[in-house]
Copies of this chain bind each other. A is one copy, B any other.
Amino acid sequence: MHDDPEQTPAKRGRPRSLTEDQVVDAAVQLAKSVRLENVTMRALAQALGVPVMTIYNYVPNKDALNERVVDAVLRPVAVPAPEAGTWEERLKQLERDARRALAEFPGLSLDRPYSAEGRRLAEGVMSILGDAGFRPTDASLAFATLFTFMVGQIDLDLEVAELRGPGADAVLSAARAAELSPDEIFEFGFDAVIEGLKAKLGPA
């Protein structure tokens, strides 16, 4: 009964010099200027002012760290409630928020392996599609289309951000010639996708 290690943390041993949040936050900051995959454990340790191996007391390895960074970035993205508007408006707001959240982080994508936050957003989209009245199979197809569009859009955003200047690139030069901003491209594409989904699913 007495001496329960859960109740009495018993500050024995060396005190922790960091918290997990500090480690993840520092990695998030570094991921703003360098692609997440290129954030090195050594650079992270230096930013935290600790030896490299100390990080491994807070995070099992780099993959796990990356997952927590993605979670931290996606956490602020809300799933709009039913009262927030029509299903089209709710989806658009969700995808716009996600895109904005990810835009600060070069090369941070929604893809594999799915984080807890990624799953939350995926379920949010599915539930909005359910509210819209789509039956399960149709909702899955619509989800896949929206997800596909979203991943591609983030990739396009990255290219626009990186390829400033000399990169004589057919894709972007066409967009540049027409003076299209990434936001305009997103709005147009998203509306087209929604329109297409309604056309394909509406008559059922």
Binding site for B on A (CB under 8 A): 109, 111-114, 118-119, 122-123, 126, 136-137, 139-141, 143-145, 147-153, 155-156, 158-159, 162-163, 167, 169-171, 174-175, 177-178, 180, 184-185, 188-189, 191-197, 199-200
Contacts and interface: CB of A to CB of B under 8 A. Distances in A.
A170 B122 contact: yes
A156 B167 contact: no
Nearest to A191: B200
Given A149-B149, A153-B148, A170 B140 contact: no
Contacts of A112: 158-159, 162-163
Interface centre among A143, A162, A191, A192 (most CB of B within 10 A): A192
A175 B147 CA distance: 12
Contact of A148 (B152, B178, B180): B152
A125 B171 CA distance: 10
When all copies of this chain in the complex are counted, the total is 2
A167 B137 contact: no
Given A150-B152, A152-B152, A192-B193, 18 more contacts: A114-B169, A114-B170, A122-B171, A137-B178, A140-B177, A140-B180, A141-B178, A141-B189, A144-B156, A144-B180, A144-B185, A145-B189, A148-B156, A148-B185, A152-B153, A192-B199, A195-B195, A196-B196
